[in-house]
Amino acid sequence: MSQPAELNIDRVAELSRLALTPEEKTRFAAQLGSILGHIEQLAKVDVSGIEPTAHAFPLNNVWAADVAQPGLAVSAALLNAPAQRDHMIVVPKVVD
């Protein structure tokens, strides 16, 4: 199936922060085109006057006492850091 005009795979990949290969772009665009073709049938449903559902059982105003709770120890928080030094996560240089 060809890529629908509106799915700009380059743009969506950029928004998704995914570096895709040209082969992946072609393949995903075709597969997503077919899925979006299926999804188009939702346009047929009359939803006028219908409220959206974000959760099946919405709970509003769930309060917790404003009291400090113990958090993760530094060693636990850094347990999975790809790179660390002096109790901090090392990241690539962002300013030249």
Partner 1 sequence: MSAPLHFQTIAELSAKLAAGQLSAVELTQAIIARTKAIEPRVHAFNSFDEPAALALAAASDTRRSAGQSSGALDGIPVGLKDVIAVAGQPLTASSKMLANFVSPYDATVTQKLQRAGAVLHGRLNCDEFAMGSSTENSAFGPSSNPWDLTRTPGGSSGGSAAALAAGAAVATLGSDTGGSIRQPAALCGLVGLKPTYGLISRYGLIAYASSLDQIGPFARTVEDAAIMLGAIAGHDPRDSTSFKTAIPDYRAELKTRRSPWKLGVPKEYFGAGLDPEVGAAVEKAIAFYRSQGCEIREISLPHTQYCLDTYYIIATAEASSNLARYDGIRYGHRTSAAKDLLDVYQKSRAEGFGDEVKRRIILGTYVLSSGYYDAYYLRAQKVRTLIRQDFLNAYREVDALITPTSPIPAFKLGEKSADPLAMYLCDIYTIGVNLAGLPALSLPCGFTQSGLPIGLQLIGQPFREADLLATAHSYEQAHGWNTQFPSL
Binding site for partner 1 (CB under 8 A): 6-7, 9, 12-13, 15-20, 24, 28, 31-32, 34-36, 38-39, 41-43, 45, 47, 50-57, 59, 62, 64, 72, 76-77, 79-83, 89, 91-92, 94
**92 backbone dihedrals φ, ψ, rounded to 5°:** -65, 155
Minimal distance, residue 87 CB to partner 1, in Å: 13
Minimal distance, residue 17 CB to partner 1, in Å: 4
Structure tokens at 29: 């665009």
Query: CA–CA separation, 25 vs 51, rounded Å?
Result: 36
Minimal distance, residue 1 CB to partner 1, in Å: 10
Sign of CA dihedral 33, 35, 40, 41: positive
Residue 23: which of 36, 8, 9 has the closest Cα? Answer: 9
